[in-house]
Each structure stands twice: as C-alpha cells, then as structure tokens.
C-alpha cells in the first residue's frame, strides 16, 4: 500500500516522543494528530534504542551502517563479476589460461 502523505519531519517525531514521555498516551496523540498510535509507539521505542535505554533491536545508526554495507557488498559483487568475465575474455583472446591456484 502506498503512502498517502509525505514522511513526518524529524522535529515532528521528536515532539511526539517528548509528549509521550511527558505522560500523553499514543492513542490521544493519534486522535489529535495524523500518525497512528502504533507509529508513535514505534518512534518512542526507536528513540529508546538510539538513546541506549533499550536493547531489543538495532539503533538507527546501526541500521544505516548495515544498509551502507549491503549496498557496498552488492557493488563489490558486480565489480567482481565484471572482472571475472573480463579475465575470461582476455584469456580466450590470448589463448592463455592462468594456472589454477594463481592469485591473478
């Protein structure tokens, strides 16, 4: 299902988190503002993880690092495949097949 509104700003999320921490319930905030109560609870939980208050999931920084490493890994696999194909092509063109176990 596609989103029907733009993502909420970080400042808006911080305000919702502070309101929950000051005693307001996510349900009352959901009635007053647009995000659902579950969305607000998720924001509060993630803020707790980021602050080191919870250890039941990954922090935002860790998640960003994991995503960066996954992108880098995909790119390296593509580059490896290209180099492997290029090496095979050059070996066929020059009739030289490198011995097995070589580092080239």
pLDDT at 5: 73
**Helix 37-50, helix 10-21: angle, nearest 10:** 90
Residue 91, pLDDT > 90, answer no
Q: What is this structure's pTM? A: 0.68
pLDDT tens digits, 36-86: 999 999 999 999 999 999 989 999 999 999 999 999 999 999 999 999 999
3-state secondary structure of 21: helix
Pull the structure tokens for residue 29: 């905030």
Whether 102 has a pLDDT exceeding 60, the answer reads: no
Q: How confident is residue 93, by pLDDT bands cut at 50, 70 and 90? A: confident
């Amino acid at each position: 299902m596609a989103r029907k509104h733009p993502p909420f700003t970080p400042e808006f999320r911080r305000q919702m988190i502070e309101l929950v921490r000051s005693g307001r319930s996510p349900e009352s905030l959901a009635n007053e503002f647009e995000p659902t109560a579950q969305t607000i609870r998720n924001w509060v939980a993630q803020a707790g993880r980021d602050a080191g208050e919870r250890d039941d999931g990954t922090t935002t920084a860790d998640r960003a690092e994991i995503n960066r490493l996954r992108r880098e890994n995909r790119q390296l696999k593509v580059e490896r495949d290209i180099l492997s194909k290029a090496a095979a092509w050059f070996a066929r063109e020059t009739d030289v097949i490198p011995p097995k176990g070589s580092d080239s």
